[in-house]
Amino acid sequence: MKQRSFIILAAALAFLFIGVVGVYAYDSSNDDQIADGVRAGGVDIGGMSTSAARAKVKHRLEARLNRPLYAVYHGEKFKLTPAQARIRINADAMVDEALHRSRDGNILSRTWRGVTGGKVKAEIAVRASYSKAAVAALVKRVSRTLDRSAQDASLSYDTGELRPVKAKKGREVKTDVLAEDLGTALSLPDGDRTVPVSVASTRPKVTTKDLAKKYGTVVAVNRNTHRLTLLKRLHVVKAYPIAVGMQGLETPAGQYPVQDKQVDPWWHVPNSAWAGKLAGHVIPPGPADPLKARWIGITGGAGIHGTIETASLGSN
Nearest to 201 by CA among 150, 237, 167, 152: 150
pLDDT at 4: 61
Report the C-alpha dihedral over residues 229, 230, 236, 239, rounded to 10 degrees. Answer: -40
Looking at residue 47, what is its pLDDT? 84
152 has a pLDDT exceeding 70: yes
Q: For residues 88 and 61, is the Cβ–Cβ distance under 8 A?
A: no
Q: Residue 26 pLDDT more than 70? A: no
Would you state the pLDDT for residue 213? Answer: 92
CA distance 173 to 148: 9
pLDDT classification of 161: cutoffs 50, 70, 90? confident
Task: Tell me which DSSP letter residue 122 carries.
Answer: E
